[in-house]
Structures are given as structure tokens and as C-alpha cells.
Amino acid sequence: MKKIALAAVILSSLSGGAWAHEAGEFFIRAGSATVRPTEGSDNVLGSLGGFNVDNNTQMGLTLTYMATDNVGVELLAATPFRHKVGTGPTGDIATVHQLPPSLMAQWYFGDSSSKVRPYIGAGVNYTTFFDESFNDTGKDAGLSDLSLKDSWGAAGQVGLDYLINRDWLINMSVWYMDIDTEVKFKAGGVQQNVNTRLDPWVFMFSAGYRF
Ligand code: NI
């Protein structure tokens, strides 16, 4: 009987131990975040078609608080993303920088004894644009005074945490962000406003640590 009791204790410590994502805990994840815009815009200057915006990868950081064993609140931050902007006929004409902080409410499947925690989230994104500038091609074409309007929009995500041990995890997550802006500039001194959507997918691969 003693052996059976001992085996039961060992088994319960193996299977019943809390791995991660318990109510009240915080964890951070850090890794690569790649923004892939699914861009489109009004016709630029009547004949150039829509804007093209290229992909960019930066360091992404998330901070998550578990309100319960299943409900998390997460803040996304990153180092500034840098995108080249152009049109089909002209090639790249400008560079813009942006930061897309997002606040998400999340549901984590499984429970605090699960080593694998898939999750879904929904929330709000704020994107601020800065250091917008035309390159030489843009300037030579008489373009100036570039600025992009900040954006508020909805964001959704799916992700997966794999708990390596009590402290460390690895993560994959995908976000969709509704980011729309107005691109303002002058062409030969004439003010132009071009409604533009970025609506990017964001892919994140990271390592996480809880404390
Ligand atoms: Ni949109």
C-alpha cells in the first residue's frame, strides 16, 4: 500500500503540477515580429495606381497578465517598424516608420496544468506614424511634406504557448490589425490626401519568461 501511495504522489506531482498561465501571474515574450501589409489605396495622383508598402521585421514584445487561469490581458509593443512605400510605375518613393501598440483580451484553452496553451484574442490597435520622408526619387518628382494620420482599429490574434518548464515558454502567434490611414503630401505644391489601408498580418516567434 505504501508503494501505491508513493506512486500516486509521484504521478500527481508529474501530471497535476501547474505549468504556467495561472491566475495572477505575469509573463513576457520577446522575439521577432514581422508586419506584412495587405495594402491598398486610392489612385495616387490620378495615374499611379495604389500605394505599395513592403514588409518589415522588428523585435516584438508582449506583456501578459492572467486575470484567471484562462483569461489574459496582453499588451503588444515593438521596436519601430520601417516600411518603404511606392507605386508600380515609380518604385519606392518614401520611407515611413510606425509603432502599432495593441491591447488584447485573450482566452487560453486548457488549464494551468497544460504544457500547451493555444489562445485567441481580440482587442484594439493604435498605430502612430513618424519619420515619414520622401527619398530622392520622390523629391525629384516634386513631392514634399509627407505625413500619415495615426490609426485606431480592431485587432485579432491566434497563438500557441509551449511551456518548456515553470519559467520558460516558446510561442508562435499571428495577428490581424485593421490599420487605415490618410497619406498627406504635396505634389508640385498641391496638397494631396490619399486614403490608404495597411491591414497587416503580423507574425511573431518568441521566447517567453514568467515572473
Ligand atoms: Ni482596414
Rounded distance from Cα 127 to ligand 1 centre (Å): 12
Segment 185-207 shows an average pLDDT of 97
Banded pLDDT at 67 (limits 50, 70, 90): very high
Residue 20 has pLDDT above 90, yes or no: no
Q: What is the pLDDT of residue 19?
A: 73
DSSP 57-118: EEEEEEEEEESSSSEEEEEEEESPEEEEEEETTTEEEEEEEEE--EEEEEEE-S-TT-SEEE
Rounded distance from Cα 152 to ligand 1 centre (Å): 10
Banded pLDDT at 51 (limits 50, 70, 90): very high
Banded pLDDT at 2 (limits 50, 70, 90): low
Average pLDDT, the chain: 93
Per the rule left: phi > 0, alpha: psi between -120 and 50, beta: everything else, 50 is beta
Please tell me the least confidently modeled range out of 17-21, 98-102, 141-145, 163-167: 17-21
Q: What is the pLDDT of residue 7?
A: 58
Residue 100 has pLDDT above 60, yes or no: yes
Rounded distance from Cα 155 to ligand 1 centre (Å): 10
Residue 103 has pLDDT above 90, yes or no: yes
Banded pLDDT at 199 (limits 50, 70, 90): very high
Could you give the number of structural domains in the chain? 1
Rounded distance from Cα 120 to ligand 1 centre (Å): 20
Rounded distance from Cα 37 to ligand 1 centre (Å): 11
Residue 45 has pLDDT above 70, yes or no: yes
Banded pLDDT at 211 (limits 50, 70, 90): confident
Rounded distance from Cα 119 to ligand 1 centre (Å): 24
Global pTM value: 0.88
Please, is 45 exposed, middle or buried when counting C-beta atoms within 10 Å of its C-beta (0-12, 13-18, 19+)?
Answer: middle
Q: What is the pLDDT of residue 6?
A: 59
Residue 15 has pLDDT above 70, yes or no: no
Q: Which residue has the cell 510561442?
A: 171
Rounded distance from Cα 199 to ligand 1 centre (Å): 5
Segment 135-153 shows an average pLDDT of 97
Please, is 58 exposed, middle or buried when counting C-beta atoms within 10 Å of its C-beta (0-12, 13-18, 19+)?
Answer: middle
**What range defines the domain where residue 105 resides?**
2-210
Rounded distance from Cα 177 to ligand 1 centre (Å): 8
Q: What is the pLDDT of residue 12?
A: 47
Banded pLDDT at 3 (limits 50, 70, 90): low
- The domain that holds 91 is classified in CATH as 2.40.160.20
3-state secondary structure of 210: strand
